[in-house]
Structure 1
Amino acid sequence: MKIRHAEVKDAAQIAKVQVQSWQASYKGIVDSNYLSKMSIDERTLRWEEWLLQGPSHIVFVLEDDHNDIWGFISGGRIRSDHPYESEIYAFYLLKEIQQKGYGTKMIKRFSQQLVKQGQKSMIVWVLKDNPAKKAYISLGGIKIDEELIAIGSQSLMEECYAWQDLQLILD
């Protein structure tokens, strides 16, 4: 598996990973009716737009030797008023390759890119009941906030993890 910058041509595969990851990872957390209605076609259109944004939106994919995408991470400048510089907007791996070390490698590669762009700190929002948040904690992420968000007709608690110094992830 290799990690590389995403291109517009990757939009459909990224969308597929996002939808399949949501449906597998959030089963029992997010309403099943909402999950079943997620559309790869709709997500593909959004990803095409986002991938055209250029260097302000960083997106890396995890790809195998057959050019199949198994995961992605995206982010850029922070979108809230927390005192941090950058944010992971979305980070998903297909269930089959979770807990094999690829997620850590992707977060490190993403953090390297942020540091290269002169950014020093980062946050990520994650559903409170998502067991994958342990990865952020194991990489030194500190919980700094939480908020109630709406997904479909559901209200779910989301937690914010932060790194004041991205170098902590890279060391």
Structure 2
Amino acid sequence: MNNGIIIRQAKKEDVRQIAEILVEDWQTAYRGIMDDDFLDSLSVNQRYEIEVKRYDKYVVAAEGNEILGYAWLESTEEAPADCEVIALYVRYSKRNKGTGKLLMRYAFNYFRSIGKKKMIIWCLKENHESRRFYEKVGGKEYQTGSHNWGGKGYEMISYLYDL
């Protein structure tokens, strides 16, 4: 299923592609959910400056020199979870080919290997595609909340995983 895709620690030279993936995904997947002016204001250069400061917390799904997706993994104290996938993005044009599952499997295995027991991930409540994916890979709806982007609040939902 992985067809030459490897999951590895992100490197500085991956950051441009990471920024491209984030901007493309947000502008495509969140259109109609989030404010258009906010989405249109996103830029790869701006995201690069943000992501270059934290890429060492990311793992990427790479096929040759192309980054297909990435995940940001962290420990957390958001009980009952003790670990979190803060972000998981797959290049929009490469979705539905197993890359997201590979990244989630990596997250499960990594967190288990360091003794973690429960993982959480948050997404926009109206992002039905992501919600279906998180449920398909074993997540159970846990709680709701909200987050502010571009001066507007958006409803969020979390999924909890027993590791």
TM-score by length of 2: 0.90
- Specify the code of the residue in structure 2 equivalent to 1:121: K
Partner residue of 2:97?
100
2:156 to 145, 155, 158: 158
- In the alignment, the residues of structure 2 paired with residue 149 and residue 30 of structure 1 have an alpha-carbon distance, to the nearest angstrom, of 12
Partner residue of 1:45?
49
Q: Determine helix, strand or coil for the equivalent of 1:140.
A: coil
Question: 1:11 touches 1:45 (CA, 8 Å); kept in 2?
Answer: no
How far the C-alpha of 1:135 sits from its partner, in A, is 1.1
Partner residue of 1:169?
none
- Runs (4 or more) in structure 1 with deviation over 2 Å come to none
Partner residue of 2:124?
127
Matches within 5 A, 1:1-171: 1-52=5-56, 57=57, 59-65=58-64, 67-78=65-76, 81-130=78-127, 131-163=129-161, 165-166=162-163
How far the C-alpha of 1:46 sits from its partner, in A, is 1.8
- In the alignment, the residues of structure 1 paired with residue 49 and residue 138 of structure 2 have an alpha-carbon distance, to the nearest angstrom, of 34
Question: 2:71 touches 2:89 (CA, 8 Å); kept in 1?
Answer: yes
- In the alignment, the residues of structure 2 paired with residue 147 and residue 82 of structure 1 have an alpha-carbon distance, to the nearest angstrom, of 15
Gaps of 5+ in 2: none
- Specify the code of the residue in structure 1 equivalent to 2:42: M
What RMSD, in angstroms, separates the aligned Cα atoms of the two structures? Answer: 1.4
Gaps of 5+ in 1: 167-171
- In the alignment, the residues of structure 2 paired with residue 41 and residue 162 of structure 1 have an alpha-carbon distance, to the nearest angstrom, of 33
- Specify the code of the residue in structure 1 equivalent to 2:11: E
* Seq. identity, %: 27
- In the alignment, the residues of structure 1 paired with residue 111 and residue 47 of structure 2 have an alpha-carbon distance, to the nearest angstrom, of 25
Alignment length (residue pairs): 158
- In the alignment, the residues of structure 2 paired with residue 132 and residue 144 of structure 1 have an alpha-carbon distance, to the nearest angstrom, of 15
TM-score by length of 1: 0.86
Q: Determine helix, strand or coil for the equivalent of 1:49.
A: coil
Question: 1:70 touches 1:94 (CA, 8 Å); kept in 2?
Answer: yes
How far the C-alpha of 1:26 sits from its partner, in A, is 0.6
